[in-house]
């Protein structure tokens, strides 16, 4: 326990520079496994996953023709399993292409309990039957999963205790790029 506390006195998980490098790496890993993004579509999860997906798409477009990149945004509010305990504000879904028989890469900022991804998989299937679904996250909070779900691409894996919150801050939304622990 002491060791945990020692580690997490450092509140920053990823600095601005580390974040930029990590995003680049994730983009390159995606391109490595999905050559030229043929038959692959990228889908960012609303509300906060889209800041990461926007950045990844930006990086990918530096390496591959922009018109090859099929990129959408998915909101999972109506598929949540905690809908009876709390209402969440619905955000916009925009998937302007078919996902039928496509390889889909879901992109979110933090993988924690896995419940958001469960909802996202349900939502996704209402758009068609993808050939394969992969998950790309910036922060993987290990040992916190409540469902059997894991990431195929993770920017950084961290061990955290349940009372800690991980917050990913974005320049365009929060004024700076950083990943931090919030006690």
Partner 1 sequence: MQLSTRHLLGIKDLTPNDISLILSTAEQFKEVLQRPVKKVPSLRDVTIVNLFYENSTRTRFSFELAEKRLSADTINFAVSGSSAAKGETLLDTVNNILSMKVDMVVMRHSASGAPHFLSQHIPAAIINAGDGINEHPTQGLLDAFSMKEKFGKLEGLKVAIIGDIMHSRVAMSNIYLLTKMGAKVTVCGPPTLIPKYMRDAFGIEVSYNLKETLEWCDVANVLRIQLERQNQVLFSSLREYNLAYGVKKNLLDSLSKEITVMHPGPINRGVELDSDVADSKQSIILQQVENGVAVRMAVLYLLSERNPASN
Site residues (vs partner 1, CB under 8 A): 75, 77-79, 83-94, 122-123, 125-128
Query: Cα-atom radius of gyration of the chain, to the nearest Å?
Result: 16
Q: In terms of CB distance, is 62 or 89 closer to partner 1?
A: 89
Kindly state the smallest distance separating residue 45's Cβ from partner 1, in Å. 14
Distances, alpha carbon 91 to alpha carbons 11, 95, 97, 113, 126, in Å: 30, 13, 19, 21, 17
Q: In terms of CB distance, is 13 or 123 closer to partner 1?
A: 123
Kindly state the smallest distance separating residue 119's Cβ from partner 1, in Å. 9
Kindly state the smallest distance separating residue 129's Cβ from partner 1, in Å. 10
Q: Read off the DSSP letter of residue 91.
A: -
Kindly state the smallest distance separating residue 14's Cβ from partner 1, in Å. 30
Using a 10 angstrom Cβ sphere, with 0-12 exposed, 13-18 middle and 19 or more buried, the burial of residue 168 is: buried
Q: In terms of CB distance, is 94 or 152 closer to partner 1?
A: 94
């Amino acid at each position: 326990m002491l060791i945990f506390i020692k580690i997490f006195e450092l509140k920053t998980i990823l600095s601005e520079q580390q974040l930029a490098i990590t995003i680049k790496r994730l983009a390159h890993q995606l391109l490595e496994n999905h050559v030229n993004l043929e038959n692959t579509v990228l889908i960012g999860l609303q509300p906060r996953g889209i800041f990461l997906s926007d950045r990844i798409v930006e990086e990918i477009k530096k390496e591959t023709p922009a018109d090859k990149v099929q990129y959408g945004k998915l909101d999972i509010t109506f598929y949540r399993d905690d809908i009876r305990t709390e209402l969440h504000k619905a955000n916009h879904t925009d998937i302007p292409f078919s996902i039928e028989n496509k390889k889909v890469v879901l992109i979110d900022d933090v993988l924690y309990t896995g419940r958001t991804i469960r909802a996202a998989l349900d939502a996704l299937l209402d758009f068609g039957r993808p050939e394969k679904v992969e998950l790309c996250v910036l922060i993987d909070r290990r040992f916190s999963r409540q469902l059997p779900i894991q990431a195929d691409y993770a920017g950084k894996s961290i061990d955290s205790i349940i009372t800690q919150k991980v917050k990913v801050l974005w320049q365009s939304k929060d004024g700076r790029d950083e990943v931090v622990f919030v006690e």
